[in-house]
Amino acid sequence: MKTLSLRLIIPLTIISFVFITKWWYALPEDAPATMYKGFPLIYSGPAWHTSLAYQFFVVEFIIDLLTYFLCWFILIYSINRFWFTIKPVRWTTISLWSLTLLIIAYYAIIAGLFNHAYDFKRPYPIKIIATGYEFFWQHTQRSQ
């Protein structure tokens, strides 16, 4: 299971974390209505201090990442144990890790370009107005 974790579960976790997420249209306290991202918890949203910047909530981000990892772990473990033995092919592993490293590099560059705000936990209460799911290539507009 250790090799499956390294070869399949970690790349699938990062790829699915980026490509499939949940949007939250919420009304923060003393701020305009805002679109947030994260599943099962909100881990990012636009920052209000400057344009093109985001605010990230570290605890929620770690919980979300662990949730994705746990889902993939349970799925791969169950298939490997009860259905058939998974033997990852070399080109599949290389492809998954290549895509994973490209995603990590892209988000590392984005994290360094702007004046993002990083908070340990979300420091303000919010009221959820609407939620939904989206893929990476979709851009959900907030309702007017």
Side chain identity at 44, as an amino acid letter?
Answer: S
Residue 33 is predicted with a pLDDT of 83
pTM value is 0.85
pLDDT in tens, 1-19: 666 667 889 999 999 999 9
- Beta bridge partners, 22, equal 133
Beta strands in the chain (DSSP E): 20-28, 34-37, 44-46, 54-57, 117-119, 126-135
Cα R_g (the chain), whole angstroms: 17
Q: What pLDDT, on a 0 to 100 scale, did the predictor assign at position 127?
A: 92
Q: How far apart are CA 15 and CA 100, in angstroms?
A: 6
How many whole angstroms separate alpha carbon 68 and alpha carbon 6?
15
Q: pLDDT tens across 92-140, in order?
A: 889 999 999 999 999 899 888 888 888 999 888 999 998 888 876 666 6
Residue 17 is which amino acid? Answer: F
**pLDDT score for 144:** 55
Comparing 81 with 65, which gets the higher pLDDT? 65
For residues 76 and 9, is the Cβ–Cβ distance under 8 A?
yes
Model pLDDT, residue 17 = 93
Mean pLDDT of 33-60: 88
- What is the longest distance spanned by two Cα atoms in the chain? 54
